[in-house]
Structure 1
Amino acid sequence: MTGLHERHLAVSPTWLALYYRQPLELTHGEGRHVWDADGNRYLDFFGGILTTMTAHALPEVTKAVSEQAGRIIHSSTLYLNRPMVELAERVAALSGIPDARVFFTTSGTEANDTALLLATAHRGSNQILAMRNSYHGRSFSAVSITGNRSWSTTSLSPLQTLYVHGGVRGRGPYAELSDEQFVKACVADLEDLLGHTRGAAALIAEPIQGVGGFTAPPDGLYAAFREVLDRHGILWISDEVQTGWGRTGDHFWGWQAHASNGPPDILTFAKGIGNGMSIGGVVARAEVMNSLDANSISTFGGSPVTMAAGLANLSYLLEHDLQGNARRVGGLLIERLRAVGAGSPAVREVRGRGLMIGIELVKPGSDEADPEAAAAVLEAAREGGLLIGKGGGHDTSVLRIAPPLSLTVAEAEEGAEILAEALRAAG
C-alpha cells in the first residue's frame, strides 16, 4: 500500500471506492493516454467515467480555461455572464427542444435533481416513473429514483418512484421476445402501471443505461412510451449525462434513437461537455423551466471558467466531427471486440453504440453474472496498459469501454488487443 493510499483511507469514507488492488495516482495525460505517479503510460478507455470527451490536455480547452481564469474566475448567477449565455445559446439550439431554456449546474446528479424539481413543480406531483437498472446520481432525490440496487444507498425517499420495464433488452421477462414484441410488452406494462397511479410527474430514462452496463432498449421504445405519457400529461426527462454530445455515433443525443414524436420535455447533461471541468445542466421548454414560483440561483453553476471550457470543447467537437469519428472508429472497435468475445466462453454479450461499449461476463457455460471475472479483467487490462471501467445491474459484471471521442483506429486496435489478452489471462 502506498503512502498516498494510506492517507486516502485515513480521511475518506469507506464507501468511496477505488479501482485496482493497488490504486493508481494519475498525474498527467495527453490525447488518449494518461500516466501514473510511477511513470507508467496507459491507453485510456474510460475517460474519467465518460468525462474526458475530446482528449486529455486538449490545447484549445486548457487555453480557454487559462485565459478566462486570468480575467475573472467567479461571479455567480447574480450577474450577467457572457460565457454562460453563449454556451446556453449553443446548447439550446443543439437540444432540439423548442423555446428552450438552459440552467447550468455543477454535475449530472445536480442536473437530474433540478429536472425532478421542475417536473414535480410543473405537474404538482411527487410521483416519478423510472427504469429498472437505472442510475441518475448520488443525491437524496437521485438515489431515490435509481433502479440499480448496487447504487441505491437508501430506501428512504422524497419521491414515490415506480419502476418500468424496458431499459435492459437481454435479460428479464421479455428478453426472448422480438424487438417489436418487446416494445409492445413494455408499453403494455407502462399502460397497466399508470392504471394504478394518480398522475405521475415524469418518466426519467437514460437512452443507454451507463452504470447499468451500457444496456439499451430497441430504438423507438421511448417514442412508444411518449405516446402513452402524452395522453396522461406526463413529462419525459431524457438523462443524457453519458449519451450526449455524439458519443453514440449515430446521434448527437441518445433520445434521437427514439425521435419519431420529437424531443423530450426535459433534457439533462453533464460529463463530457466540460472535458473534465464541472459542468452539468438542464434544458427544458420555457413553460416547464419557468414552473418554479420561488427564487433560485446557482453559486457555482455557470462559472465563467467552466463555461469557457465548455465553449472551447464543444467547438472542437463540432469542428472536428467527433460524432462521426465515434461512429466510424466505434463501429470498428465493437466489431473487433465481438470477434474477441466470440472466442471467450466468459463473454455473454458485446453491446453498444459508437464509443459506448459494454462487454458482459458470465461464468462459462451459464447465464450467471461473474463480477470476479470482471474485476480480474480490469486488473489484467491495467497490467497491459489499458484503463477500462466496470458496471452492470447484475453484480458489476460488465466491462465499460468509453474512450475519448478522438480515438484513432490504431488506438482502437491496440486497446482491443490488450483486452483480448486480458480476457485470456483472467480466464
Structure 2
Amino acid sequence: MTGLYDRHRAVSPEWLALYYRHPIELTHGEGRHVQDADGNRYLDFFGGILTTMTAHALPEVTKAVAEQAGRIVHSSTLYLNRPMVEMAERIATLSGIPDARVFFTTSGTEANDTALLLATAYRRSNQILAMRNSYHGRSFSTVSITGNQAWSPTNLSPLQTLYVHGGVRSRGPYAELSDERFIKACVADLEDLLGHTRRPAALIAEPIQGVGGFTSPPDGLFAAFRQVLDRHGVLWISDEVQTGWGRTGEHFWGWQAHAEHGPPDILTFAKGIGNGMSVGGVVARAEVMNCLDANSISTFGGSPITMAASLANLSYLLEHDLQGNARRVGGLLIERLRGIAAGCPAVREVRGRGLMIGVELVKPGTDEADPEAAAAVLEAAREGGLLIGKGGGHSTSVLRIAPPLTLTVAEAEEGAAILADALHAAG
C-alpha cells in the first residue's frame, strides 16, 4: 500500500487525516465486514464514520441505486423529482416538526450551514450559541461554531459564537453534581449568558456529541434549555447528523430524550440515511424554512440516485426495526465493554446509547487523557481484525464504536473480544 500512500501524500493536503501507521485501502464490503486491498477482512465498528448505517452492500439499496441509475442519475432541483418528494414526505412525518419543510444537501456540514443561514435570517442576528466540545462540520461557518479546538482551524468568522455548558456530563465544573443539579447549573449558566448579550439567533447542539467522544448531558437538559430559549426568542437547532434514524436505540432522534417541550425548531441530518451515498438535509417548520427572500437551488442535493438509495435504506431500517436492534444489541455490547473496562485501569469511562458507544482512555491512576493509548488501541484492534474510530475533546483519547445497525449478538461479542485484547496489548 506504500505506493498509493505516497501518491496520496503527493496530491492531498497535509491536514487530511488518515488512520493507522500504515494506512489501508478498503475495497470491498458486505454486511458488517470490509476487506482491504491486501485481502485482510475486518469487522467494521465505525461504518465510514457512522455512515454505513444498515449494512455494506445492502441488496435493497444497491438494487435501488442500479435501477435509478438505469433511468436517470441527475436532474437538479430545477425539475420535479419524485424520489426527492417521496423522501421529503417521509422525513417531514418522522421529524415530529409541525408543518415541516425539508431541504436536501450533500453532507452534514452543508446541512448545518443551511440551518445557520435560516436561523440568522429568521432572527436577524449573527450570534449563535453552541455547546462546548461540539463539532458541526468543516465549512467556514460550521468550524466557527465548533467548540472543539482540534477541529476548528480558524476563528475568523462573520458569526459571533458563545459557548454553553452541558455537553459533557463527566468533566468540567459541574461534573460532581447530581443530574438534577447539573441541569439546574447549566440552565442558570445559560440564563446568565443571555442576560449579558443581545438576542442570539439559535442554539445548535448535538444530543450526543460525536467527534467530541460520544458525550451527552442528562436527559432533559435541552428541554430545560428550551424553556429559556423560547422566553428569549432563540431557536433550537438539533444536529442529528450522527444521532438520527434510531442509532441511539431508545429514540429515533436524539432530541427525543429531551422532548418535554416538543421538537426542535430546526433539525439537521446526514451520514447514515444514505448508507454511503452523499445525503444531508434540514427540516424546519414552514415559517422558518420559507424566511429567505432570495432564490436558491441545489445542484446535487436530493439527486434522484441518492434519494432512491435513501428511500430503500429508510424502508429497510423501519421494516426490520433496526432501532430496536440497536437498543438490544447495543445494550449488550455496552455491558460487555463495561465488564472489560472493570479490569483495565486505562479506561476511565464506557458511555453511550444503542450502537453509539465511547470508551475514554486516560493515564492509569489519573484523569489525564491519553491519546497515545487510544492510537495504540486503534492499531491493535486493526491487527486483530476490528475497525473502530477515535475522538474526544482537545485530544483524541476516546475510542468511538458505531457499527451498522444490523449488528448481530455474535458480532458484538466478537468485536468486544478483539477490543479487549487490543486494550490489554496496548496497555
Cα offset, 1:2, TM superposition: 1.0
Cα offset, 1:158, TM superposition: 1.4
Partner of 1:357: 357
Distance 1:164 1:107 in 2: 25
Distance 1:330 1:257 in 2: 17
Residue segments in structure 2 that go unaligned for 5+ positions in a row: none
For the residue of structure 1 that corresponds to 2:298, the secondary structure is coil
Pair 1:341 & 2:341 matched: yes
Contact residue 369 and residue 394 of structure 1 kept, 8 A: no
Partner of 1:403: 403
Partner of 1:132: 132
Contact residue 149 and residue 394 of structure 2 kept, 8 A: no
Partner of 1:50: 50
Q: Equivalences for 1:416-427 in 2 at 5 Å?
A: 416-427=416-427
Partner of 1:118: 118
Pair 1:17 & 2:11 matched: no
For the residue of structure 2 that corresponds to 1:102, the secondary structure is strand
Partner of 1:212: 212
For the residue of structure 1 that corresponds to 2:422, the secondary structure is helix
For the residue of structure 2 that corresponds to 1:339, the secondary structure is helix
Residue segments in structure 1 that go unaligned for 5+ positions in a row: none
Distance 1:252 1:149 in 2: 30
Pair 1:154 & 2:149 matched: no
Partner of 2:197: 197
For the residue of structure 2 that corresponds to 1:122, the secondary structure is helix
Partner of 1:379: 379
Partner of 2:4: 4
Q: Equivalences for 1:303-322 in 2 at 5 Å?
A: 303-322=303-322
CA-to-aligned-CA distance 1:39-64 (integer Å, 9 cap, x gap): 00000000000000000000000000
Partner of 1:92: 92
Cα offset, 1:115, TM superposition: 0.1
> How many residues are matched?
427
For the residue of structure 2 that corresponds to 1:260, the secondary structure is helix
Contact residue 326 and residue 355 of structure 1 kept, 8 A: yes
Partner of 2:183: 183
State the Cα RMSD in Å: 0.4
Cα offset, 1:76, TM superposition: 0.3
Cα offset, 1:394, TM superposition: 3.8
CA-to-aligned-CA distance 1:141-200 (integer Å, 9 cap, x gap): 000000000001101011000000000000000000000000000000000000011110
Which amino acid letter does the alignment assign opposite residue 357 of structure 2? I
For the residue of structure 1 that corresponds to 2:261, the secondary structure is coil
Distance 2:164 2:394 in 1: 17
For the residue of structure 2 that corresponds to 1:29, the secondary structure is strand
For the residue of structure 2 that corresponds to 1:350, the secondary structure is strand
Pair 1:103 & 2:112 matched: no
CA-to-aligned-CA distance 1:264-314 (integer Å, 9 cap, x gap): 000000000000000000000000000100000000001000000000000
Contact residue 127 and residue 200 of structure 1 kept, 8 A: yes
- Using structure 2 for the length normalisation, give the TM-score: 1.00
Contact residue 249 and residue 323 of structure 1 kept, 8 A: yes
List 4+ stretches of structure 1 deviating above 3 A: none
Contact residue 45 and residue 404 of structure 1 kept, 8 A: yes
Distance 2:14 2:71 in 1: 40
For the residue of structure 2 that corresponds to 1:328, the secondary structure is helix
Partner of 1:266: 266
Distance 2:170 2:220 in 1: 16
Distance 1:341 1:397 in 2: 15
